[in-house]
Structure 1
Amino acid sequence: MRRKEIRKYVSRIDDVLPTLVKNFQVPQLPRLYGTEITFPQYFALATITRKGKCMVGELSKLLGLNVNTVSELVGRLVKKHFVKKERDEKDRRRVHVYLTELGKRIIRKVDHCKKRHISGILRNLTEDDCRVLIQIMEKMTGTPQELGEAKRL
């Protein structure tokens, strides 16, 4: 594709992306279980759910945030009783983070709400639209090299 065409599409994507992201967010998320939960906190909980018990350093890499930011985030999740921290018995400097039962319940509730919310969005599309949307989204979640980013660096 030529640069002029690419710029046109970049502009259109830039226009619709904020609304698209907003539309895919679960509206009930901030007030689940009577407590405030932010999107970064949800992403941390979801990542711990997928990874299982992990160290703060691992979590920071998975979230793409620096260790200090993740440490503060984990501290807030501990105060809300969503996660627990546990020192490694062999190396006391290492701290593992894992979900509490409340954290697991929150993730299940959010996932249920998220699936209902996304189902409502997809109901407005044809089956072909959904298939194409998923194919494009999967293609766009590839590595930077797969997306051609390496060529521009």
Structure 2
Amino acid sequence: MCKNPVDVLAENLITFLPVMIKKIIKFDTAPIKMPPLNQLMVLGLLQEEGSSSISELCKNLTISRPQMTIVIDKLVDLDLVYRVHNESDRRTININVTEKGKKYCLEISEMVKENLKSKLMNLSQEDLSILLRSIDVAKNIFKKLE
């Protein structure tokens, strides 16, 4: 029986994403300790978006509020983020990246980029060209998915 292409694509994307993340973030040796993926995602989003409420973080990263509280507590303990009451609504607490957190994000980003570059150097020119074109096409298609 022939499967619907949308079903096949959904199944492939579900299995592809964990493999991609593992290949990009996994390190044989790392000069700094890599935080868990959920902490990395929170830091990355805050670095990109700026100040964000816990509810917005939960929604954007599809992490439950209790789990997000644990993640934020750990990042606060590491002095990578801090909490601040929203001035327009004191019930809302915003999360911001500290200067240490910004430096840490930059270090992680550079380390991931260097690690990935060393892995990509093992590919042929043809594979590199195909991968580059494929990523460009995928990015353009994913921009249409809103």
1:1-153 aligned within 5 A: 2-3=2-3, 20-27=20-27, 32=32, 37-137=35-135, 139-140=137-138
Alpha-carbon deviation of 1:104?
A: 0.7
Q: Taking structure 1 as reference, are residues 129 and 45 closer, same or farther at Cα in structure 2, changes over 3 Å only? A: same
CA deviation profile, 1:13-52 (whole Å, cap 9, x unmatched): 888876554322142798726xx62121111101100101
Q: Taking structure 1 as reference, are residues 142 and 57 closer, same or farther at Cα in structure 2, changes over 3 Å only? A: farther
- Percent identity between matched residues is 20
Kept in 2: contact 1:85–1:98 (CA 8 A): yes
SS of equivalent to 1:32 = coil
Kept in 2: contact 1:55–1:94 (CA 8 A): yes
Cα distance in 2 between the residues matched to 1:28 and 1:45: 22
Normalised by the length of structure 2, the TM-score is 0.74
Q: CA RMSD in A?
A: 3.6
Cα distance in 2 between the residues matched to 1:53 and 1:7: 37
Structure 2: segments with no counterpart, 5+ residues: none
Alpha-carbon deviation of 1:114?
A: 0.6
Alpha-carbon deviation of 1:8?
A: 9.5
Normalised by the length of structure 1, the TM-score is 0.72
Structure 1: segments with no counterpart, 5+ residues: 148-153
Cα distance in 1 between the residues matched to 2:43 and 2:101: 7
